[in-house]
Structure 1
Amino acid sequence: MTRQIEQDVHAAFVEFRVNEGSKCMSVQCIYCQQVRAKNTTRQRQHLYNCNAYLTAHPDVIIPTHGGDDDAPADAYGETTSLDGSGEHTSLGFAPNPRINGAGPGSVPGSANAMGPAASPAARGSVRPALSNADGTPAPKRYKTKQTPNPNTPELPLRDVHAAFVEFKVKEDDKCLSARCIHCNQVRAKNTSRQREHLLNCAAYQAVIKDKIPANNLRHQFDEDDIAASLSLPTPTLDLDFRMSIRVKPKINVGTGNFGRQSWIPCIGGQFAGKWGKGIVLPGGQDTQTTKTDMSTQISARYLIQTNQDNPAVIICNIKGWWTGDKDIMDRLQDPVAADNIQAHRYKFRVTMELETGDERYAHLNTGVWVGSGCRRGAEIVYDAYRVN
């Protein structure tokens, strides 16, 4: 007498919880001891390929795809299957190879119990026969895993959860299902699978693409360009330290190829911030190149020293621009008039880099700072913001 595999879908597995807090059940096959999540369809598919189970039940019927037009195609794009004779057939199920004499324990003349009336859904949830017509093992057929868009960064966990609505299909369901709010696709609640779905969800990707700042500029990349699909982290600025530099009157060098040049020697100063406090050593220098519209290019180099018993010495390089309306910039050339001009009336913007060989401050070597400055008589003050 033939045996239907549905008889053993539940009997062949022992249910248990991995830990007390686990919401979902796991199952272990009593024949091969393999453990998997509790899922009737997956358990049925496991038994079709479990050699230990098939050895214990040689009379079991192995379903295959039928020949109906709506039957799902197999891994090779075919919807027909092979029976024991090796010929194409439209039958919904094929007997176990052992039944047709392909192995020990065969039962000659056994018939297909379910026949061609099996539903397409039933045929779609099963696998083909385990051997070819000549008795040789059939090649394994694997599902093709969808590859996520390589240009899209890994999604934060909060975004993954926000894109799905959780619910129970039935009131007595032990496990939750999740529906994508962008394409309405429903799947079992599983964070990794949900993240993988979003990386391939066209509706979600379209929404994310509109949120990329670079795609809201006046001029944009073409839609098929890689740069149009990249979401990059936005830098933040934190006030890191303030530096005050005392200088001598500037020395006019004269007009060069790029404008009127001036040298401003440093005679000292101080700094204080998150990572330390100390002085600005004498000897630094600020070179300024003034253009015809009075905009001024800044290039300065200072040496600062921490106030510890064993002080660290740090090089500070500054580059930037001092710009504003021409009448404001003219007044700034007068040290007395400059003190009466508020800093927001002009732009004194620079970038900074720090360099030291002291291991205690090695983290400064890889930092980038942007600064805002102002001029007050014989003193230049900078606020340095670290770019994070």
Structure 2
Amino acid sequence: MAEFDPSQAVSDLISGSFTGQNGDYAVILFVFGVLIAIIIGAAVFSGYIRLILNIADFAHPVARVRAIGNPLVEKDTLETLAGSLSAEEITENLRKFGYGLSSHRVMNEEESGMYFRREYYLSLEKLLDTVPKSVRPFFEAYMKFAEAGEIKYMLRALRGGISPKTVPVGMFTDRINRRISSTKTESDIRSILYSLDLIPEEYDMEDETLQSAELVIDRHLCDSLAFASAQVDVSLAEPLALFTGHLIDVQNLKNLCRAVSLGLDSGHKAMLMTEGGFEFHGDSLKSLSMSRTKEELKEACRSTVYRDAMENAFREGASPEKELEKMLLEVSDNLSSRYHLGSGPLIRYAYARRIEYENLTATYTGVTERMAPEDIMGMMVFSEET
């Protein structure tokens, strides 16, 4: 075979001449080029196939949550409910949204809270039954927040010498309820919490305050949610990671708003922080935790997506928690629109269901106690969009 001349081989390949001194090399280049084209084509085709399969996987669950909707985070709907003149009227209005309330009996605050929690948990369990397996671990991790809410309520009640009435959800069953109620030591409670994956293995509850334990639970659940979103296929992970990052930011900002109001020092504030936020992480999170006043906290958020929420949070009569939850609802709305063929609508539905539960409890209690409609609306979180 003649000595290889690259320029002549390429020239032969372009001209279609596979004879001559470099013809053999031109054939090799041609075959190599064809193989590269086939590999690239297969990769592109595989990507399209995966995209189509993902869309098909999400088609049914997305259609389902869109059909159900979240009407009780819409301002107009809530104004109608808040304007109900009696317990009978609000009961009748809620029955239109599928709530099987008795029209012959008014529930007290505890009963209504349990009823609406049960409905909320049932909706999450039904969602878990329909989401694609590819993202199921994320929604299982999200449901842990509901389990933790019941257990926190139970531990507070037991510490206060009260027998709590809880609602089973996920792994928090009646059997777990009885086990916690009968425990005698912090070590036993820690063992139960660890078995439910609500605390890290190394956490020791001895001599810890209940507030510290709840903070550890929240941080562990955020870490678990972030881990679950990171385990999802890269083509599906972005909306899950974005929601998780914003949720962590909002939790940190809620904690800081309370800490600033209570005048806690920077050491206590740093302990309240959870890493992994969308806007605040690493040095920016450390800097945020150094905020000493409401003005400093607002300034730290000035160049972030939380600017407006934090400006509103400290206005007279405003609730920082409600303003931040409203911000997270807007984030979920955006994710639902941006990732409408994937998990976006499922994320929005899951988060909005929690807001609906809180709105329902506030509305039902407010109407039955004959509060003014505007006062009831002031206790709720809703989307301004119709």
Q: TM-score under structure 2 normalisation? A: 0.19
**Of the two structures, which has the highest relative contact order with CA contacts closer than 8 Å and spacing of 6 or more?**
2
Structure ranking higher in strand proportion: 1
Which protein has the larger Cα radius of gyration, Structure 1 or Structure 2?
A: 1
